Structure formats: C-alpha cells, structure tokens
C-alpha cells in the first residue's frame, strides 16, 4: 500500500504561494550533496518509503515540508499574488498565519554543475537559487558559469550559503577581523558577478537582509545574523531586527559604556572589537576550542548559558564529533537555510511575469500567458518537461513543472517536442507522480506551481517538451543552442551488436540534453553530435557505461559545416521535367542572418496564417509582403532557415504541384549541392512555370526531380560557399595569464571580443570567438598556458564563411573536395549545365 499521505500532499501542492522551487548552485565539492543529504534526512513526513506502489526513479527533486517557527518573519517578498484570484488557496480562510511551506529542491545531475545546457532546463522550472560557496576556496569557476545561466534564465533572486565554516574555525584559524573581511569579499564577489551578468543592479546579497547564511553542511550547523540577534536581543533590550543590523559592518560595542560606535575606538581612545567578531565569531571559536580540548566544565557552562541540551550519548563524544554535536544542537542547519529560502526565494507567482517573455513564444496578453502569470490552477494546462528521468519500470518519466492549469492523470494533451517535424502529437497522459528523492508515488492531479513527473508520453519527447491542453501552438523557448558543431562516427566493434547500439543511442538521445545521434540514410553510418568535445566525451562515456558489454570504435571529431549562397542567382534557372511537359523557373537570394536567427530561435511564427506571417516578416525584416504572403515552406523539415516562396503567376495553378515542389525543397535544403551538407540562409523564389494540364503528367515522379534540379541550379548560380561554426569561448584567468590566453586564441584564428577585470579580485574574464575547426585540444593548451588556473566554456555561437574573402578560394574548394571524397561522391563539383536546361 502507499506510504504517501496523499491528502497532505494535495493540500500543500494547492497552497501555491507557500511553494518554493529552488536550485542549489555550487562548484564541484563545495558541499551541495552533503547539505541536501542533511536537510532531507530531517523532514520525512512527505518522503516516500520503498513500498509496493513506490516506483524507483533517478533522483531529481527533494521536496521538504517545513513549518516556519513563530520567531521567523513570514516572507514579505514581492508576493504579487492577486487575492481575488486566490481560488486555489483555502488555507487562509481562518485568517491564521500560514506557516507550512513546501520547499522543492530541484537537483542538478552530478557532474553537470558546469554545463549550462543542463542547467538551463533545470533552472526554467525553479524560481530562485541558493548559491553554495566553500568559504576557504571562495568563488570558483563553475559557480560563476551557473550564475550566468541563472541570470540568462531571468532568475535574479538568489540566496547565499557560505559553507565549510568549520574549516575557517578549526583549520584556518584566521584572526577574527581577517576572517570577517574574507566573508565580506566572498559576498561582494558574488554580488559583482550577478550584477555583471544581469547588466543592472539586482537585489543584493547581504547578511543584514538575511539572504546570506553561514555554516557547515558536514557538521550540520548554520546561522544568519538573526540567529545571534535572537539570542542577544533580550540582553540588549532591543528588538531582534534592530540588533541584526548591528551585527555586520562597521558596528562596534563598547562593553564599558554599553554604547554602539561606528568606528573601532571609543571616546577615550580604547580600541573596540567589531560586533560580528565579538558577538558571533568569539563564541563560535570558544565552543570549538572547548570541544577540541574536551574541556567538559567549560562546555557544560556554555551549554547552560545557550540553553542547549546534549543527549547523554553526545556527551560521551570528544573533539570534532563533540563539536559537531554541540553545533548542530546550537544552530541547526535547517533552521537557517530553510527559513532563508522561504523568505528570500520567490513563490511560483512572484517573478513569473518578468521571466515569461524570455521563456515563452506566445503573446503575453493571450489567455495562456495570463494564466501562467497568475499560476491559475483552473486555466488551460501548460507543463514544461525539463528532462526525462529513468525509472525501474520500462520507459521514462517526463519530469517538469505545471505552469498553468492542473495536470490530471488520463488527460488528453498535445505534446510539442523536437521529435521529427515539430508537429504536436495528441496523446493521453497515463499517471502523475509525486517525486521525492529516489522514489515516486502516484497522485491524481497537480496544480500550477507544482513539480511532478508524468508517465505515458516519454516516447513523444526528445529531451525537453511543452505539454498543453490549449489549441494554440505556443511553446516554452529554449535559449540553448540546438546546433551541434562537432560529431564523431561510432560503430560497434562486433557488427552483430549494431541493433543493440542503435537501441542504446535512441535512449541516450531522448534522455540526454547535451548530445544527439543520427544515422546517415545512405551510408548507414552512425553519428553522435554534441556542443563541444567535452560533452561528446561525457555522452559516449555514459553510453558505454550503460552498456558495458558493447565495444565501440569512435572516429576523431568531425566539425560540422553548412552550405549557403553569397549573392543572388546570376540568372533565372530553368528545369524541364523528364516528360518535357512541365517547366520550373527559379532564382535564389541570401536571407539576412538576423532572420535566420529569428527562425532558429523559434521566434518567427512559421505556423501562423500567411497574412500574419507576412506582416511579422515585413515589420521585423522588411521582407517584401508580396513574397511573405506566398511562403510555401521553411526547410529542411518545415522549420529550417531556408524559405521557399511561390511567385508563379496565379493563373498557372501552381498549387497543383505544390506538394511535390515542397518535397524537392526539403531534400535540397537537407543536403546541399556542394557536399551534401545542410543548406542555410537561402530564399528560393519560384518565378514562373509551365504546368501540364493533365494530372497524370504532373505527378510527383515528374515534379520532385525537376524541383530539385531547378533549386540546385539556383544555388549553383548564386556563388555558393561553406560556413564553419564559431565557438564563443569564455574563460576566467588571473591577470598574469592574460597574455598566454590571447596568444592561444590568436594562433588559432580566434579573436578576443572582451576583457573584463572582476572587481576586488585578481581575476578577469576573457571572451573570444574561435573557429571550431581550430579548437582541437584547445582546453588543454589553455590549461597549460595558465598553469591549470583557467576555467573555460565553449559554446556554439554562430556560423561564419569558411573564407570570408573569397567564396570559392582554394581553402573552400579543398574542404568541399575532401568531404565529397569521404562521402563517396564524385569529388568534383557538378557543372551548372547538369542542372540548368535551355528553353
């Protein structure tokens, strides 16, 4: 039977304003898992136990049910919740304060804190973060990368936990004043990083505000200024709030006169101790000292004055274990971290209005957007699938967040995912699952604001998806590049393993957001592609790990290229059908890069009515309306960055052969004329035609090959060339290594685009564009040049001409020749007259 207290879960899921969806951001080894483990052990009333009905899953979410104590203030954050719409919250009818909260800690898969590709989809379902910093190591490179991704996702509400405080006290033993300054620096650097990425002032992290806590995951303690202010408030006879402000910054208390000063000397010239050191660090050091020395008298005395009771077992301990026992009784970690999250992370309502424009491609005044902004459980369903998670059953669960409406088991939905041609698929959801750590349990429904898993639709999902009941074709956007500039070909060492490999790849494909695989239709060769060398390696390792008996041969990395044109066609091209009964005339011209990006970022409303689409293209790109009205297709696959327009005079009834021409167009854009690589940035204009009056003479067999030839001809006559991918490399180094980094980029044909010094640190950030073709082994070169100090990320940024000077230079021709040869094509390019017919 189920161990889940379903009623309780239903109640807390419905209380949307008391839900906190939070992600913990940390550099590797800064203590994220230790903190999560510690917290999740204590609040078990909604945790699941292995039972007949529980399903084992890959851990993704730790829900914590926590009651805020009476001494903690209730959150005052934005709380834009419109109470008239408060139909989902029935807890407040009594007028009583509502102190029960559900904190959903959304987990990031281990080893991926530096991948903002993974982070992006995770952060999309969360509202705030807790940044975890190792107090000794300070800000590290991938804390920084994660912060940037969070800011790009519109998350501006952060909290900070300065971890491993035990090391500051027991190991570093810095003078108190120095320790204080180290903490100040950590906080300042974090603030500078966030506001740099945001490009504006954002809510500051400050111990006084209460969004900064200190402590130790390993020892299980944590505190904010307010924790100590509560202890001292009555002694000083001032309010806790007032005292909190005195415990940080330039505040000094004179024990003789019992007065506060803003400088470290009193009237009579006596040196004063900073209040933080006097009232917080001193006692912490004394406790440590007494515990480490096993000074039982002193400990007993302190315990009494702090009202801590240790169990008899704990009193048997000595040294570090004793220290831990005292500290976790004195300042329990949960009671600093969880209230901090409750008070300073937004609820699902609070910031969604600001973030939605970055997340969603529909109109913001539409019914759906309005419902999302209100988190309306009665609105149309909008569910974002951030990832597929594996289960001990067959098939994956789709894990994600309800942004609008209420998701119900058995409900019929439309699924948008980038499987096949982006057409939505209508299916019924099977079950809804409440997720807790490594287990999940069925529930009936989940309202807006909740994070749950759903079963029964994973087959139709590739990596991420939008699931909706609306008839509108609007989806959640992804900023992550879907361009994979690098790939390897893989094959099983033993050919009989081929089916097994294909099966494994299919699974890897859908569940992994950082790699993708495909089979070349003609050669049967299997490719795995990824955003950079690193992720390709990780993806392949995972694959081999999942199927350890599968031995693979993996090729060297192959860099992707694209084909494009550089001018408009030099002539109107003509192709005649094999039966000579049909003629097609076509000319092509380049599309602007801005328009290409717009299409690729899913901003162009390609499935809107011709008049809406044409208005959009005209307003934004001055795309001529008479052409915009006559767009037949985007290609390849109905979504690509090439456009087919039908400018054939109306009386010729070109619609009779539309399907065949569109089919030819998709083939031509999928495999370009130069070397069978995808085409981008081409507008094809069908100018004229001669169409047979007899249906039987203008069938697909006649028209498709003719369309292909005339489209190819219009490319061949428009000075075609190759495009190469360019990385945006982002690297953080100490200033003495800047020179070395510059040299590395220059020697690889890259160009530095910015150099920014980070305030108060010896660090600077360098950004550069580097051709992917020249990036092989660049990570290790950068590491060597900076004595292992540099941390860099490589991401696809844009396509650039392989040779900007000359579209058919020897360099371009050689590359075309090599690719053709490798693919078993005739190495020499076809002549124009193979494709162009004469009248």
Residues binding Mg ion (CB under 5 A): 33
Q: What is the 3-state secondary structure (H, E, C) of 712-723?
A: HHHHHCCCEEEE
Q: Is 34 in the site for ligand GDP (CB under 6 A)?
A: yes
Report the candidate in 281, 261, 279 with the shortest Cα–Cα distance to residue 271: 261
Q: Is 336 in the site for ligand GDP (CB under 6 A)?
A: no
Report the candidate in 122, 106, 10, 112 with the shortest Cα–Cα distance to residue 384: 122
Identity of the residue, 216 or 587, whose beta carbon is nearer to ligand GDP in the bound complex: 216
Q: Is 72 in the site for ligand GDP (CB under 6 A)?
A: no
Choose the stretch contacting ligand GDP; rule: CB under 6 A; options: 76-84, 215-223, 634-642, 774-782: 215-223
Identity of the residue, 30 or 463, whose beta carbon is nearer to ligand GDP in the bound complex: 30
Closest approach of ligand GDP to the CB of residue 335, in Å:
16
**449 touches, from ligand GDP, Mg ion, none (C-beta below 5 to 8 Å by class):** none
Q: Is 115 in the site for ligand GDP (CB under 6 A)?
A: no
Q: Does residue 322 contact residue 122 with C-beta atoms inside 8 Å?
A: no
Closest approach of Mg ion to the CB of residue 361, in Å:
36
Identity of the residue, 33 or 719, whose beta carbon is nearer to ligand GDP in the bound complex: 33
Identity of the residue, 162 or 536, whose beta carbon is nearer to ligand GDP in the bound complex: 162
Identity of the residue, 133 or 398, whose beta carbon is nearer to Mg ion in the bound complex: 133
Closest approach of ligand GDP to the CB of residue 172, in Å:
11
Report the candidate in 105, 86, 122, 144 with the shortest Cα–Cα distance to residue 342: 105
Residue 275 has which token pair?
């209040």
Those residues with Cβ within 8 angstroms of residue 138's Cβ, 6 or more apart along the chain or in another chain: 185, 186, 189
Q: Does residue 377 contact residue 349 with C-beta atoms inside 8 Å?
A: no
- Exposed/middle/buried for 808, CB within 10 Å: 0-12, 13-18, 19+? middle
Those residues with Cβ within 8 angstroms of residue 467's Cβ, 6 or more apart along the chain or in another chain: 381, 382, 383, 384, 385, 398, 400, 407, 413, 414, 415, 416, 429, 454, 457
Strand partners of residue 408: 445
Q: Is 183 in the site for ligand GDP (CB under 6 A)?
A: no
State whether residue 210 is helix, strand or coil: coil
Which of 63, 75, 217, 222 is in the footprint of ligand GDP by CB under 6 A? 217
Q: Does residue 182 contact residue 174 with C-beta atoms inside 8 Å?
A: yes
Choose the stretch contacting ligand GDP; rule: CB under 6 A; options: 29-37, 39-47, 566-574, 738-746: 29-37
**533 touches, from ligand GDP, Mg ion, none (C-beta below 5 to 8 Å by class):** none
Q: Is 216 in the site for ligand GDP (CB under 6 A)?
A: yes
Q: Is 820 in the site for ligand GDP (CB under 6 A)?
A: no
Q: Does residue 670 contact residue 635 with C-beta atoms inside 8 Å?
A: yes
The 8-27 contact track toward ligand GDP, x by CB under 6 A, reads ------------------x-
**31 touches, from Mg ion, ligand GDP, none (C-beta below 5 to 8 Å by class):** ligand GDP
Which of 29, 316, 472, 746 is in the footprint of ligand GDP by CB under 6 A? 29
Identity of the residue, 292 or 544, whose beta carbon is nearer to ligand GDP in the bound complex: 292
Count, residues near ligand GDP per rule CB under 6 A: 16
For every residue of 229-259, DSSP letters joined together read HHHHHHHHTS-HHHHHHHTSSS-EEETTTTE
Q: Can you tell me the distance from the alpha carbon of 539 to that of 109, in angstroms, rounded to the nearest whole number? A: 13
Closest approach of ligand GDP to the CB of residue 192, in Å:
22
Identity of the residue, 11 or 167, whose beta carbon is nearer to ligand GDP in the bound complex: 167
Say how many C-beta atoms besides its own lie within 10 A of residue 203's C-beta: 16
Closest approach of Mg ion to the CB of residue 662, in Å:
51
Closest approach of ligand GDP to the CB of residue 493, in Å:
35
Check the CA dihedral 342-344-350-355 and report its sign.
negative
The 8-class DSSP code of residue 696 comes to G
Q: Is 167 in the site for ligand GDP (CB under 6 A)?
A: yes
Which of 55, 147, 151, 218 is in the footprint of ligand GDP by CB under 6 A? 218
Supply the Cα-derived Rg of the chain in whole angstroms. Answer: 31
**218 touches, from Mg ion, ligand GDP, none (C-beta below 5 to 8 Å by class):** ligand GDP
Which of 2, 3, 10, 28 is in the footprint of ligand GDP by CB under 6 A? 28
**390 touches, from ligand GDP, Mg ion, none (C-beta below 5 to 8 Å by class):** none
Which of 114, 144, 153, 166 is in the footprint of ligand GDP by CB under 6 A? 166
Identity of the residue, 285 or 690, whose beta carbon is nearer to ligand GDP in the bound complex: 285
Report the candidate in 267, 236, 161 with the shortest Cα–Cα distance to residue 205: 161
Report the candidate in 490, 578, 576, 508 with the shortest Cα–Cα distance to residue 547: 508
For every residue of 768-801, DSSP letters joined together read EEEEGGG-TTHHHHHHHHTTT--EEEEEEEEEEE
Report the candidate in 391, 401, 465, 400 with the shortest Cα–Cα distance to residue 427: 465
Report the candidate in 98, 120, 92, 90 with the shortest Cα–Cα distance to residue 108: 120
**209 touches, from ligand GDP, Mg ion, none (C-beta below 5 to 8 Å by class):** none
Alpha carbon distances (Å) from 286 to 36, 175, 272, 304, 612 = 28, 13, 19, 14, 72
Identity of the residue, 33 or 195, whose beta carbon is nearer to Mg ion in the bound complex: 33
Own/partner pairs, 536-539, CB within 8 angstroms, 24+ separation: 536/486, 536/487, 536/488, 538/111, 538/514, 539/508, 539/512, 539/514, 539/515
Choose the stretch contacting ligand GDP; rule: CB under 6 A; options: 216-224, 414-422, 631-639, 661-669: 216-224
Choose the stretch contacting ligand GDP; rule: CB under 6 A; options: 217-225, 742-750, 775-783, 827-835: 217-225
Closest approach of ligand GDP to the CB of residue 221, in Å:
9
By CB under 6 A, name the binding residues for ligand GDP.
Answer: 26, 28-34, 163-164, 166-167, 216-219
């Amino acid at each position: 039977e189920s161990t889940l207290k379903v009623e309780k879960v239903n109640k807390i899921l419905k209380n949307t304003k008391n839900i906190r969806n939070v992600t913990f951001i940390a550099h590797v080894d800064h203590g994220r898992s230790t903190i999560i483990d510690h917290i999740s052990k204590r609040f078990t009333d909604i945790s699941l136990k292995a039972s007949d009905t529980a399903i084992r899953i890959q851990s993704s979410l730790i829900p914590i049910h926590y009651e805020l104590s009476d001494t903690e203030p209730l959150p005052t954050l934005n709380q834009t919740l419109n109470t008239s719409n408060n139909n989902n919250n029935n807890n407040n009818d009594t007028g009583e304060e509502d102190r029960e909260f559900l904190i959903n800690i959304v987990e990031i898969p281990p080893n991926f804190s530096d991948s903002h590709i993974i982070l992006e989809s995770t952060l999309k379902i969360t509202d705030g973060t807790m940044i975890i910093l190792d107090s000794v190591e300070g800000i590290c490179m991938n804390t920084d990368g994660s912060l940037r991704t969070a800011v790009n996702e519109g998350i501006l509400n952060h909290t900070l936990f300065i971890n491993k405080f035990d090391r500051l006290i027991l190991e570093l033993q810095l003078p108190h004043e120095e320790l204080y300054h180290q903490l100040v620096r950590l906080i300042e650097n974090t603030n500078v990083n966030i506001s740099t990425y945001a490009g504006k002032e954002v809510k500051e992290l400050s111990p006084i505000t209460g969004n900064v806590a200190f402590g130790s995951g390993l020892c299980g303690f944590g505190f904010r200024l307010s924790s100590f202010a509560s202890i001292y408030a009555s002694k000083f006879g001032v309010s806790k709030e007032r005292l909190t402000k005195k415990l940080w910054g330039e505040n000094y208390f004179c024990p003789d006169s019992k007065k506060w000063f803003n400088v470290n000397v009193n009237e009579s010239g006596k040196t004063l101790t900073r209040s933080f050191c006097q009232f917080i660090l001193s006692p912490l050091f004394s406790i440590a000292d007494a515990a480490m020395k096993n000074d039982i008298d002193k400990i007993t005395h302190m315990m009494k004055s702090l009202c801590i009771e240790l169990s008899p077992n704990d009193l048997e301990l000595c040294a570090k274990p004793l220290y831990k026992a005292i500290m976790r009784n004195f300042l329990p970690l949960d009671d600093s971290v969880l209230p901090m999250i409750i008070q300073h992370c937004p609820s699902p309502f609070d910031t969604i209005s600001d973030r939605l424009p970055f997340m969603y491609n529909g109109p913001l005044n539409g019914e759906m957007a309005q419902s999302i902004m209100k988190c309306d459980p009665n609105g149309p369903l909008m569910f974002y699938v951030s990832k597929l998670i594996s289960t001990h059953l067959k098939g994956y669960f789709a894990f994600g967040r309800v942004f609008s409406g209420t998701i119900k088991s058995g409900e019929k939905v439309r699924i948008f995912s980038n499987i096949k041609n982006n057409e939505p698929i209508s299916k019924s959801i099977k079950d809804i699952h409440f997720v807790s750590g490594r287990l999940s349990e069925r529930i009936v429904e989940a309202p807006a604001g909740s994070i749950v898993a759903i079963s029964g639709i994973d087959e139709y999902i590739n990596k991420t998806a939008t699931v909706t009941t609306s008839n509108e074709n609007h989806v959640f956007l992804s900023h992550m590049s879907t361009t994979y500039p690098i790939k390897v070909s893989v094959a099983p060492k033993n050919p009989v393993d081929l089916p097994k490999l294909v099966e494994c790849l299919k699974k890897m494909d859908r569940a992994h957001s950082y790699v993708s695989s495909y089979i070349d239709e003609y050669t049967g060769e299997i490719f795995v592609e990824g955003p950079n060398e690193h992720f390709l390696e990780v993806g392949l390792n995972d694959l081999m790990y999942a199927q350890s008996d599968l031995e693979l041969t993996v090729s060297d990395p192959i860099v992707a290229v694209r084909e494009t044109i550089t001018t408009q066609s030099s002539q109107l091209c003509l192709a005649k059908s094999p039966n000579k009964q049909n003629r097609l005339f076509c000319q092509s011209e380049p599309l602007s890069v801005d328009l290409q990006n717009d299409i690729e970022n899913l901003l162009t409303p390609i499935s809107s009515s011709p008049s809406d689409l044409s208005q959009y293209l005209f307003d934004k790109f001055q795309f001529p309306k008479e052409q915009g009205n006559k767009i037949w297709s985007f290609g390849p696959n109905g979504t690509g960055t090439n456009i087919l327009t039908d400018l054939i005079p109306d009386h010729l009834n070109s619609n009779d052969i539309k399907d065949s021409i569109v089919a030819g167009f998709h083939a031509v854009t999928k495999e370009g004329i130069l070397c069978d690589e995808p085409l981008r940035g081409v507008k094809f204009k069908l100018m004229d035609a001669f169409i047979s009056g007899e249906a039987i003479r203008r069938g697909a067999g006649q028209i498709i090959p003719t369309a292909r030839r005339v489209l190819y001809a219009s490319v061949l006559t428009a000075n075609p060339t190759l495009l190469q991918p360019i990385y945006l490399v982002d690297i953080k180094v100490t200033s003495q290594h800047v020179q070395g980094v510059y040299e590395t980029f220059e020697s690889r044909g890259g160009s530095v685009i910015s150099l920014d010094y980070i305030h108060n640190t010896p660090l600077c950030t360098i950004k550069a564009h580097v051709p992917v073709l020249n990036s092989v082994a660049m990570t290790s070169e950068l590491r060597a040049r900076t004595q292992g100090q540099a941390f860099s990320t490589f991401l696809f940024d844009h396509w650039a001409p392989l040779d900007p000077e000359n579209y058919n230079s020897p360099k371009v021709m050689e590359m075309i020749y090599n690719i053709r040869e490798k693919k078993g094509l005739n190495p020499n390019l076809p002549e124009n007259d193979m494709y162009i017919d004469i009248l």
